[in-house]
A and B are shown apart, each in its own frame.
Chain A
Amino acid sequence: MSSAKNININLKIWRQKNAQAKGSMETYKLDNVSTASSFLEMLDQLNEQLINDKKSPVAFDHDCREGICGMCSLYINGRAHGPETGTTTCQLHMRKFKDGDTIYIEPFRSKAFPVVKDLVVDRSSFDRIQQAGGFVSVNTSGRTIDANATPIPKHDADRAFEAAACIGCGACVATCKNGSAMLFVGAKVSQYALLPQGKVEATQRVLNMVRQMDEEGFGNCTNTGACEVECPKGISLENIARMNREYLAASLK
């Protein structure tokens, strides 16, 4: 692109050798970063520089680099997935930054997301919540009924689809002042609670998923709404209210 130019930036990055090490913020200077490059490409460029200087490269998570897998993370300049809303870190570009900027890059911080190395955190607590109930049990013997054979009101199907857009990135936890996972769990509970296929196991699902969420050490939602703003998939707070209703109904059964 013709409007692209090169900028020089300062980086303050969390470095931590391993899960046990203490870790600290380190400062790096990186010159000639194209504003047409993505944020993760900028980190690749930094890592080349570090390797050339015989230093250890910065570990960070990524996979699809197109906003669908939920693998990338990073707390950039005080915000999960950086300054833009509705995007993941891999969708962030350097044109958002100016020459001479100092950029803070930290791992997603949560007791339930321990740092593995540098900017990489272990989000398997989310997997364990899913395993506690985030599924529909079906008999896959070959006699399954086509999902389309079950009529579902359009409104419910749309809400379920919106909830299912959650990619499990953990930005909601990272941005929440309470380190609460309720947006994630609310989305996962809702995506099934709204559909007839999910209703069968609804009671146990919500009880088990919330129990697992609490056991993992996530905090309690105080409805600041920060998660909804920072969520790259626009998951709505309605899902938390729905989870609370599901939970109240389930606990009375």
Chain B
Amino acid sequence: MAKSSVLSSSIAKKVAMALSGLFLISFLALHFSINLTSVFSEEVFNSCSDFMGYNPLIQYVMQPVLAFGVVFHFVMGFVLELQNRAARPIAYAKNNGSANSSWASRNMIISGLVVLAFLGLHFYDFWFPEMNYKYVEALPQDPTRYYGELVHKFESPVRTGLYCLAFVLLFLHLWHGFNSSMQSVGFNNKFSRALHKLGYAYAVIVPFGFIFIALFHHFNQ
């Protein structure tokens, strides 16, 4: 069989979706660990951020890989969603989805779209100013600026509220997504039950941890 048809098959797409999701999950764990330091120590947070911002491997290799990973994940998510809609041209007059599946599992596209909208805001808040600082205005490296920039963004109650809302939807996305990705790559065996617990723990700890950090800085102004 031609390799091209294998690569464009439903299973290949599922596996690609799962791998990109798992990649984002590991990135998010790193991002979360660094942000968490801001609650304990301004210095540690600043030095971690400075390292991430100026290490050439991270800037020129990992950052483009991450950008590709995010774009790939949501574009593939849209492609699958459109194909899946096309697979049922006439909707049921009455459908009882909650009888057999969770809301989170049936609405990955909704939670995903909210996370995508959040990413827009996030880039506007942090990534564009960062690129501007480093490459457009080419300002000198200042390893003490990050903490202040972070805290400043959580002054506004509206922005803090939007952040929290987005993370609740990320929680739902990961509540289904983490374990779904395991099943997609074919991992379903005697270790799965333990892994499911880890998946649920991740889905709770990371998003609600981000919410905690945002609220911490908001009320600590």
Chain B residues with CB under 8 Å of A208's CB are 1
CA distance A241 to B101 in the complex (A): 18
Residues of chain A in range 42-92 having any CB-CB distance to chain B below 8 Å: 75, 77-79, 83
A110 interface contact, C-beta 8 A:
yes
Chain A's nearest CB lies how many Å from the CB of B112? 11
- Across the interface, A109 reaches (CB within 8 A) one of B6, B84, B91, B176, namely B91
Q: Is the CB of B15 within 8 A of A180?
A: no
Instruction: Classify chain A's interface size.
Output: 35 or more
Chain A residues with CB under 8 Å of B87's CB are 110-112, 178-180, 217-219
- Across the interface, A78 reaches (CB within 8 A) one of B15, B94, B101, B179, namely B94
19 contacts between A and B (CB under 8 A): A75-B95, A78-B94, A78-B97, A111-B89, A177-B88, A207-B6, A211-B1, A217-B87, A220-B10, A222-B105, A222-B108, A222-B180, A224-B105, A238-B188, A240-B188, A241-B183, A242-B188, A244-B185, A251-B3
Chain A residues with CB under 8 Å of B100's CB are 79, 175, 224-226, 229-230
- Across the interface, B106 reaches (CB within 8 A) one of A219, A224, A241, namely A224
CA distance A208 to B90 in the complex (A): 28
Residues of chain B in range 101-155 having any CB-CB distance to chain A below 8 Å: 101-102, 105-106, 108
Residues of chain A in range 213-251 having any CB-CB distance to chain B below 8 Å: 213-214, 217-226, 229-230, 237-238, 240-245, 247-248, 251
Given A219-B83, A222-B80, A240-B183: A109 and B90 within 8 A (CB)? yes
Per-residue CB contact flags for chain B residues 24-63 toward chain A (1 = under 8 Å, else 0) read 0000000000000000000000000000000000000000
Q: Is the CB of A106 within 8 A of B101?
A: no
A25 interface contact, C-beta 8 A:
yes
B221 interface contact, C-beta 8 A:
no
Q: Is the CB of A244 within 8 A of B10?
A: no
A244 — nearest CB in chain B belongs to which residue? Answer: B186
Q: Is the CB of A251 within 8 A of B96?
A: no
Q: Is the CB of A251 within 8 A of B6?
A: yes
Q: Is the CB of A177 within 8 A of B84?
A: yes
A210 interface contact, C-beta 8 A:
yes
A251 — nearest CB in chain B belongs to which residue? Answer: B6
B162 interface contact, C-beta 8 A:
no
A93 interface contact, C-beta 8 A:
no
Q: Is the CB of A226 within 8 A of B186?
A: no
Given A111-B88, A222-B84: A104 and B97 within 8 A (CB)? no
CA distance A213 to B9 in the complex (A): 10
Chain B residues with CB under 8 Å of A95's CB are none
Chain A residues with CB under 8 Å of B96's CB are 77-79
Chain B residues with CB under 8 Å of A247's CB are 9, 11
- Across the interface, B84 reaches (CB within 8 A) one of A112, A180, A223, namely A180
Q: Is the CB of A12 within 8 A of B188?
A: no
Chain A residues with CB under 8 Å of B194's CB are none
Q: Is the CB of A244 within 8 A of B14?
A: yes
- Across the interface, A207 reaches (CB within 8 A) one of B1, B83, B95, namely B1
Per-residue CB contact flags for chain B residues 180-208 toward chain A (1 = under 8 Å, else 0) read 10011111100000000000000000000
CA distance A244 to B102 in the complex (A): 23
CA distance A107 to B12 in the complex (A): 31
B158 interface contact, C-beta 8 A:
no
Chain B residues with CB under 8 Å of A225's CB are 100-101, 105
Add 19 more A-B contacts to A78-B97, A242-B186, A244-B186 (CB < 8 A): A12-B94, A106-B94, A109-B91, A111-B88, A177-B88, A179-B84, A210-B10, A213-B10, A219-B84, A219-B87, A219-B88, A220-B10, A220-B80, A224-B102, A237-B188, A245-B186, A248-B11, A248-B15, A251-B12
Chain B residues with CB under 8 Å of A219's CB are 10, 83-84, 86-88
Q: Is the CB of B105 within 8 A of A248?
A: no
Q: Is the CB of B97 within 8 A of A223?
A: no
Q: Is the CB of B88 within 8 A of A109?
A: yes
A24 — nearest CB in chain B belongs to which residue? Answer: B93
Chain A's nearest CB lies how many Å from the CB of B66? 24
Q: Is the CB of B188 within 8 A of A220?
A: no
Q: Is the CB of B88 within 8 A of A110?
A: yes
B67 interface contact, C-beta 8 A:
no
- Across the interface, B11 reaches (CB within 8 A) one of A75, A175, A210, namely A210
